[in-house]
């Protein structure tokens, strides 16, 4: 990746970058839509991600190239800076990070040239957006001679996404990309937020089945779920749904519209499942973990209603397949990918059987990835 990235940078800008950074994508292990509700979540950084190279230049402008966009996109870094649209929209993550640096009292380069390269499939629910935000945050702060704490980089990425890109996401994606560790999950208490790593038992394998489907209104649907959860918390008389208990929810059921009740129940029970998964992991009980993962999916399917026929089909197939502990949609939902936790015996032949069943039903092939856990965002020596 690094050599290709350097080639890309030199071809576009005719010189060498002074910083290189990389940040991983993530799997949402369990804790679906709990993050912005002040809850807990477990995720895994994966061994794929986004690499960026940059150098500071004069002239108050940023120039971007990417593996998916060979044409240079140039943006003036002045008072006119605003969200880009159309085929320039991919630079909004990088620009958002640059725009939010002063909010964290961090200096920033007045101008820069920037190249990125990814081996993360986009649209698969593996959070390429957080990966680009974290890698950009590391690179731009390094260019300015700043060395922020990891938690600051994580918050910077989220702020860029919330306020510049305009997606009201929680801290899961950026937290996992920032704090990931090989053979570990990242546990986030999103209220603090606070971050910890949890060892993953040996023989825990991740398979991701990417449907390549995405609801046309996915951003609006995500924002709608966010709003429904906030309304539910208000009706329950708590600041956030993480402050409510199952008993409170049932006691106040009559005051909640049915829709908000279902959303709240998903979130409140999901936070309980995160705690149960943590306990089962500590005992090495992967079968119990798997049952909780599948229960999480069923709750997304029926209560939070952020699943799709394609995702449900994959979970049904995987839950019935040998050597699979459990399976669930991973990420925001409304399309994207299903993640399965399997033993090491599950292999390409078993995955192929699932793909064939899916193809027979939907006439399209999901992409299959056998993923390893990976380390969190880091600066990489240029030389």
Report helix, strand and coil shares of the chain as percent, to nearest 5. Answer: 45, 25, 30
Query: Between residues 156 and 351, which has the closer beta carbon with respect to ligand GLA?
Result: 156
Query: Between residues 122 and 127, which has the closer beta carbon with respect to ligand GLA?
Result: 127
Per-residue string for binding with ligand GLA, 105-134, x by CB under 6 A? Answer: ----------------------x-------
Q: Candidates 29-37, 205-213, 232-240, 355-363 — which segment interacts with ligand GLA by CB under 6 A? A: 29-37
Strand 69-76 to 205-214 pairing: unpaired
Q: How far is the CB of 332 from ligand GLA (least distance, A)?
A: 3
- Annotated catalytic residue 173: yes
Cα–Cα distances in angstroms (integers) from residue 357 to residues 211, 317, 321, in the given order: 13, 8, 12
Q: Half-sphere exposure of 324 toward its Cβ, with a 13 Å CA cutoff?
A: 25
Q: Candidates 33-41, 132-140, 312-320, 346-354 — which segment interacts with ligand GLA by CB under 6 A? A: 33-41
Among 13, 17, 28, 65, binds ligand GLA (CB under 6 A): 28
Among 32, 118, 136, 210, binds ligand GLA (CB under 6 A): 32
Among 99, 122, 137, 173, binds ligand GLA (CB under 6 A): 173
Is residue 210 part of the contact set for ligand GLA (CB under 6 A)?
A: no
| Tokens of residue 37, six digits | 């509700």
Q: Which of residues 296-355 bind ligand GLA (CB under 6 A)?
A: 331-332
Among 17, 109, 170, 326, binds ligand GLA (CB under 6 A): 170
Q: Which residues on neighbouring strands pair with residue 159, listed in sequence order?
A: none
Q: How far is the CB of 275 from ligand GLA (least distance, A)?
A: 16
Strand 61-66 to 112-118 pairing: parallel
| Tokens of residue 209, six digits | 């089945």
Which of 2, 169, 195 lies closest to 93 in space, CA to CA?
Answer: 169
Q: What is the CA radius of gyration of the chain?
A: 21
Q: Which residues on neighbouring strands pair with residue 65, listed in sequence order?
A: 115
Largest CA distance in the chain: 66
Catalytic residue (choose from 35, 116, 173, 189): 173
Q: How far is the CB of 190 from ligand GLA (least distance, A)?
A: 9
Phi, psi of 145 (to 5 degrees): 75, 20
Q: What is the DSSP letter of 347?
A: -
Residues in contact with ligand GLA by CB under 6 A are 28, 32-33, 35-36, 127, 169-170, 172-173, 331-332
Task: List active site positions.
Answer: 173
């Amino acid at each position: 990746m690094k050599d290709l990235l350097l080639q890309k940078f030199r071809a576009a800008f005719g010189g060498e970058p002074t910083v290189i950074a990389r940040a991983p994508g993530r799997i949402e292990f369990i804790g679906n839509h709990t993050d912005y509700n002040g809850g807990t979540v477990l995720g895994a950084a994966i061994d794929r991600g986004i690499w960026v190279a940059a150098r500071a230049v004069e002239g108050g402008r940023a120039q971007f190239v990417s593996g998916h966009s060979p044409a240079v996109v140039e943006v003036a870094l002045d008072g006119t800076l605003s969200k880009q649209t159309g085929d320039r929209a991919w630079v909004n993550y990088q620009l958002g990070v640059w725009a939010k640096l002063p909010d964290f009292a961090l200096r920033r380069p007045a101008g820069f040239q920037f190249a990125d390269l990814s081996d993360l499939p986009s649209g698969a629910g593996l959070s390429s957006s957080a990966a680009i935000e974290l890698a950009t945050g590391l690179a731009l702060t390094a260019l300015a001679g700043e060395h922020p704490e990891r938690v600051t980089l994580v918050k910077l990425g989220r702020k860029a996404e919330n306020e510049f890109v305009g997606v009201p996401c929680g801290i899961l994606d950026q937290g996992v990309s920032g704090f990931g560790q090989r053979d570990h999950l990242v546990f986030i208490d999103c209220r603090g937020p606070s971050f910890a790593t949890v060892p993953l038992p040996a023989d825990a394998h991740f398979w991701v089945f990417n449907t390549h489907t995405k609801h046309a209104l996915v951003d609006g649907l995500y924002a709608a779920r966010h709003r429904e959860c906030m309304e539910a918390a208000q009706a329950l008389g708590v600041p956030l749904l993480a402050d409510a208990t199952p008993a409170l929810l049932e006691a106040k059921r009559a005051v909640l519209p049915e829709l908000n009740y279902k959303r709240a129940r998903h979130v409140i029970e999901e936070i309980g499942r995160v705690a149960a998964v943590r306990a089962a992991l500590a005992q090495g009980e992967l079968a119990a973990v798997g049952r909780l993962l599948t229960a999480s999916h069923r709750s997304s399917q029926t209560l939070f209603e952020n699943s799709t026929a394609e995702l449900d089909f994959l979970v049904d197939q995987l839950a019935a397949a040998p050597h699979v502990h459990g399976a669930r949609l991973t990420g925001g939902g409304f399309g994207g990918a299903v993640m399965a936790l399997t033993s090491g015996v599950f292999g390409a032949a078993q995955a192929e059987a699932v793909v064939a069943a899916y193809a027979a039903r939907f006439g399209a092939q999901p992409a299959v990835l056998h993923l390893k856990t990976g380390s969190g965002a880091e600066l990489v020596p240029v030389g």
